[in-house]
Chains A and B, each alone.
Chain A
Amino acid sequence: MDERLILESIERYIRGEMLPEERKFFEELRKSNPGIDQMVVEHTVFLHMMEKFGDRKNIKSTLQDVHNELFETGQIKQSKETKVRRLWIKYRKTVAVAASIAAITALTISSLTSYYAPRTPNTQLQVLSRQFSEFKKVQKSINESLNNKLPVKGPAPAETEIKGGTGFMIDSKGFIVTNAHVIGNSTVVVVQNNKGQEFNTKIVYINNAADLAFLKIVDSNFKAPAVLPYAINKGNIDLGEAIFTLGYPRDEIVYGEGYLSAKTGYRGDSLTCQIAVAANPGNSGGPVLDKNGEVIGVLSNRQEHVQGAVFAIRSKNIYIALDDMKKDSTLVSKTDSSFTSIHLPQISNVKNMDRVQQIKKIQEFIYLVKSY
């Protein structure tokens, strides 16, 4: 209690609240009593500290008040892009790295896909099958006139759209190869040889990926030939090699001559090769032969608006498609098992003959394919 009173006196003394006599008395006390003097000094320091503390606290609260008020009344503004800008500054390196990685990845993927992409269905490629509708009348009349001389079987041209192309025999048992797009979704396919004889066929196998289809002639009028004059090339081909084609861009067999102009097809497609030859709708599925009478490809399509860019499916794909077909067990139930014994001709009989003789030998195995 005593000490409390002393402290209160000290406070009043420090603040100068004492009356003159009281002050005089207190100063005497300070001088005579070192303990009280010590307390005065200490308390002075403390009060000074308190004072500073209070000042700092007050100015802080005033500043915060002013800040809030100025913000609310819009007299100072927080810059809008603050946050975005800060994030940008903080993460710009990360963003740059991420963007470069994304760009490199995108470029790599797009170049890889374009490099390795298999043939894509392409509007710039025009398949060389032809529409028969305009020829219907002509064909009908031809059929009628031929009926008198040659026994012709098969359905009469129907009102439905007929697709046409070329096919050629690959096995003397009556197996014919053509383009898958020549067959399309048709169920009835008739082939016609260069003499105008028509034969009914059965679709044995369609490989849309390779754009190849295998047909088998199932017709009593068909006489199996002993041997095929041409061979199916298995190996590679050389740039600039002279080639010739036989096909039915019209109802008459048409011969074409050219050369191998590129080892790959449209946009680097390695299944096909590019040849320079005159080709028209109807040539699709026709053989591309070299000077020895070896089939090196199956003519399939051409690039629109580009002169002389015709593409042929490389003949080794016939072997591949055939192997796939033989592996396909579901085929056994659909057709007879003769397809398992298909042997592609390996030796050309027309080697060293002149072209006219070659064509004479070969042309009867080239068929006009009509799919209904």
Chain B
Amino acid sequence: MTTDSNELVLLKGLAENDRKAIETIYRVHYSMIQTLVINNNGTSDDARDVFQEAIIVLYEKAKSGSFELHAQLKTYIYAVCRRLWLKKLAYYARFSGDLANAPETIATDDDLEMYEHRTADFEMMEQALQNLGEPCKELLESYYIRKKNMSEIAKEFGYTNADNAKNQKYKCLMRLKKIFFGSYHSNNNNNS
């Protein structure tokens, strides 16, 4: 089955981090996942986490340009959530068995593998930024994530001119790269 046009629009919206598209997906599919998780030893907080992770999987898939789900959006989200929740149950060791015995709906292994890989990178970067401390963290996030220009940042952080801010940003960036690549390489070496 190919993704229908409505769902394609939603996925494109999602890839652009469009709030309306995300709201629609949330409204239509959240209850199903909440029921799934709660009926299988979970809480509504668990349901929220699992659902949001599934949307991130979908988001990253869409962002990489692949809108072909080979299934309905509903089926896809359900399958991803099911796998994610099984993993968490195994982790919490309050495994019920009912859910594991239910037949797999569609294969989502590749997508989930990609997701996990990126999650590892995400957590590494988060950790590196955390270790960097303030104001470096805020400074770099303003520039690289919120895409502010340097004169704006200089004003916001109280530097007398953009050049001083650039200098500070450079120092912070070098430290961050050192921390990040330090753990990144050691991590990748361990894995190989």
* A interface list, Cβ under 8 A from B: 4, 7-8, 42, 46-47, 49-60, 62-67, 69-70, 75-79, 82-83, 85-86, 89-90
B91 close to chain A: CB less than 8 A:
no
A-B contacts, 27 of them at CB < 8 A, read A4-B170, A8-B170, A46-B181, A50-B144, A51-B144, A52-B118, A52-B121, A53-B125, A54-B144, A55-B60, A57-B145, A59-B17, A59-B56, A62-B17, A62-B22, A63-B26, A63-B56, A64-B52, A66-B19, A69-B23, A70-B27, A75-B27, A76-B30, A76-B31, A76-B34, A82-B44, A86-B38
- Give CA–CA (A28, B125) in the complex, Å: 32
Q: Are A79 and B34 in contact (CB under 8 A)?
A: yes
Shortest CB–CB separation between residue B178 and chain A, in angstroms? 11
Provided the pairs A62-B17, A63-B22, A76-B27 are in contact, do residues A50 and B34 lie with their beta carbons within 8 angstroms?
no
Contact B180 A86 (CB under 8 A): no
A244 to B144, CA, bound (A): 113
Q: Which residues of A contact B27 (CB under 8 A)?
A: 70, 75-76
A69 partner residues in chain B, CB cutoff 8 A = 23
Measured CB to CB, the closest approach of chain A to B170, in angstroms, equals: 4
Let me know if B35 is at the binding interface, CB within 8 A: yes
Give the distance in Å from the alpha carbon of A56 to the alpha carbon of B177 in the complex.
Answer: 19
Chain A residues near B42: list those with CB within 8 A: 86
* B interface SS class: helix
Check B144 against A63 for contact (C-beta < 8 Å): no
Taken residue by residue from 98 to 133, chain B's Cβ proximity to chain A (1 for < 8 Å, 0 otherwise) reads as 000000000000000000001001100110000000
Q: Assess the A53–B59 pair: CB atoms within 8 A.
A: no
With A55-B63, A79-B35 known as contacts, the answer to whether A70 contacts B30 (CB < 8 A) is yes
Report the separation of the CA atoms of residues A62 and B14 in the bound assembly, to the nearest whole angstrom. 10
> A8-B166, A82-B44, A86-B38 in contact; A53/B23 too (CB < 8 A)?
no
Known: A7-B170, A58-B145, A62-B22. 19 other contacts (CB 8 A): A4-B166, A8-B170, A46-B177, A46-B180, A50-B145, A53-B122, A55-B60, A59-B59, A60-B56, A63-B22, A63-B56, A66-B23, A66-B26, A67-B26, A67-B48, A76-B30, A79-B44, A89-B41, A90-B94
Closest 7 pairs between A and B when the two form their complex, measured CB to CB: A54-B145, A53-B125, A4-B170, A50-B144, A63-B52, A76-B30, A78-B44
B8 in the interface (beta carbon within 8 A)? no
- Given A50-B145, A76-B27: A56 and B52 interface contact (C-beta under 8 Å): no
Q: Is B189 an interface residue (CB 8 A)?
A: no
Minimum CB–CB distance for A80 against chain B, Å: 11
Nearest CB on A from B56, distance (A):
6
User: Provided the pairs A46-B177, A63-B56, A78-B34 are in contact, do residues A56 and B144 lie with their beta carbons within 8 angstroms?
Assistant: no
Kindly state the interface size class of chain B when it binds its partner: 35 or more
**A89–B38 alpha-carbon span in the complex (Å):** 10
Q: How far is the CB of B47 from chain A (nearest CB, A)?
A: 9
User: From residue A15, how far is it (CB to closest CB) to chain B in Å?
Assistant: 11
Instruction: List chain B residues, Cβ under 8 A from A60.
Output: 52, 56
Question: In the complex, what residues of B have CB within 8 A of residue A51's CB?
Answer: 144
Q: Inside 8 A of B73's CB, which chain A residues have their CB?
A: none
Asked if B167 is at the interface of the complex by the 8 Å CB criterion, the answer is: yes
Nearest B-chain residue to A55, judged by Cβ? B63
* Across-interface contacts of B125 in A (CB, < 8 A): 49-50, 53
In angstroms, Cα B98 to Cα A370, docked, is: 80
* Residue ID in chain A nearest B35 by CB atoms: A79
B43 is an interface residue with CB less than 8 A from chain A: yes
Which residues of B lie under 8 Å from residue A89 when comparing CB positions? 41
Q: Which residue of A lies closest to B167 (CB)?
A: A4
- Chain B residues lying within 8 Å of A49, measured Cβ to Cβ, are 121, 125, 180
Closest to A89 in B: B41
- Rounded to whole angstroms, the CA-CA distance of A79 and B35 in the bound complex is 8
Chain B residues within an 8 Å CB radius of A55: 17, 59-60, 63
Per-residue 0/1 for B7-47: is the Cβ within 8 Å of any A Cβ (1 yes, 0 no)? Answer: 00000000001010011001100110011001001111000
